[in-house]
Amino acid sequence: MIKTSASVKLENITKIFKDPAGKGEVYAVNDVNYEIQPGELITLLGPSGCGKTTTLRMIAGFELPTKGKIIISNQDVTQLPPNKRDTATVFQSYGLFPHMTVFENVAYGLKLRKINKNEIEKRVMQTLDMVGLKHLAHRSPSRLSGGQQQRVALARSIIVEPSVLLLDEPLSNLDALLREQMRIEIRRIQKTLGITAVYVTHDRVEAMSLSDRIVLMDSGKIIQTGTPNEIYESPESKFVAGFVGKVAFINIEIKEISENITIKLEDKILNIKKFQKNLTLEDKAVLMCRPESMKIAEFGKGHIDGIVKNNVYLGNSIESFIETKYGELLVQIDNPSQKTVYSEGQKVGIEIVPELSKVLKDQD
């Protein structure tokens, strides 16, 4: 259905807004450089106000960059209006036409392009089939659920065969279960069409499960990019580690650095594989403790001692919150059984699993 996938290049993109409250300026986006490969789905992830939406709106053409260039498939589109860009945007608020049926909403873009009636009929039904809404073609959007309305919005965007699909927090108005279903569907459709997509979210689970690559932003700047796995496994800072997953940090002393980092924790020596190239013996460092990088042991038999504060049952795993002298540590217990779960108030040990642990430079 899609012609050819497009690349999207952001070159030194900066957007400065006048501060609405006073005379100052806000650097909503600050010198962003990034290239999205054809057919790739990337998410812009980061805390509220970090510049995700502004970046997306500049790619769509709803905002002009203060500085920099936007290049879609070798064409400089920086100054082009949205309708000249071959992009389509799906918004959080759906933006459907309430007086038109589902069919008419989806057909709208093709009608504007003066496509003949039979072709429109065929393509609309095909696209509605793709989003699972063929049977509701003649309903009014007001009689659809939120998830169904968002499917119509998605169908309306993809039917015009844009080179780039832009999605601005499209699922944030839906409940958790529907969000999960819809993100699987969006990914399936994006892959089937091979369309280049940019997805804005502040939800790490959404970003981790959808993306080919994540672009993590903070204060208008890109702070790390990579596949979900790279960012989760090898975060460059405590901020990144905390943004993409549950984590606690323990201050540690580095004894030696080679391919491995030798650390001292209590009176025990641990060897942990090095991943940050610029980490030196002089640096302040922390041990990054993910729920799955620790195990519960008998009291006195782990690396750290503590007391079970509470256990949260999640079906096939339990999250056990342990109070220690380093603060509260969250340990994930898979396939819990009577042997592996200690009850609340019990004294336990925590074993650090070196293969699953990371040492991070303490620079935040």
Ligand X SMILES: Nc1ncnc2c1ncn2[C@@H]1O[C@H](COP(=O)(O)OP(=O)(O)OP(=O)(O)O)[C@@H](O)[C@H]1O
> Which residues of this protein are in contact with ligand X, per CB under 6 A?
17, 20, 26, 28, 46, 48-54, 202
Among 152, 121, 122, CA closest to 136: 152
Give the shortest CB-51-to-ligand X separation in angstroms. 4
Report the alpha-carbon distance of residue 328 to residue 307 in Å, rounded: 10
Least CB distance to ligand X at residue 33 (A): 17
> b/e for 34-52, b at 16 or more Cβ within 10 A?
bebeebbbbbbbbeeebbb
Residue of 140, 142, 185, 192 lying closest to 167 (CA atoms) = 185
Locate tokens 């036409």: which residue?
97
CA dihedral (74, 79, 80, 82) in degrees, to 10, reads 110
> CB of residue 49 vs ligand X: minimum separation in angstroms?
4
CB contact set of 11 (below 8 Å; sequence gap of 6+): 33, 68, 69, 70, 71
Interatomic CA distance for residues 18 and 63, integer angstroms: 14
68 versus 336: smaller Cβ distance to ligand X: 68
CA 62 to the chain's CA centroid: 22
Which C-beta is closer to ligand X: that of 64 or that of 112?
64
Residue 28 or 330 with smaller CB distance to ligand X: 28
Least distance to ligand X, CB of residue 57, Å: 8
**Shortest Å, Cβ 65 to ligand X:** 12
Q: What are the angstrom distances between the C-alpha of 29 and each of 11, 26, 57, 179?
A: 12, 9, 11, 28
Q: To the nearest whole angstrom, how small is the minimum distance from the Cβ of residue 231 to ligand X?
A: 17
* Least distance (Å) between residue 198 CB and ligand X: 12
Cβ distance to ligand X smaller for residue 24 or 315: 24
* CB neighbours of residue 142 within 10 Å: 9
Pairing of strands 294-298, 347-352: antiparallel
Q: How far is CA 334 from the centre of its chain?
A: 25
CB closer to ligand X, 5 vs 206: 206
Q: For ligand X, which is the closer residue by CB, 49 or 146?
A: 49
The residue among 51 and 245 lying less far from ligand X, judged by its C-beta, is 51
d(CA 84, CA 24): 33
CB of 50 to ligand X, least distance (A): 4
Q: In this complex, which beta carbon is closest to ligand X, that of residue 92 or of residue 262? A: 92
Alpha-carbon distance of 235 to 122, in angstroms, equals 47
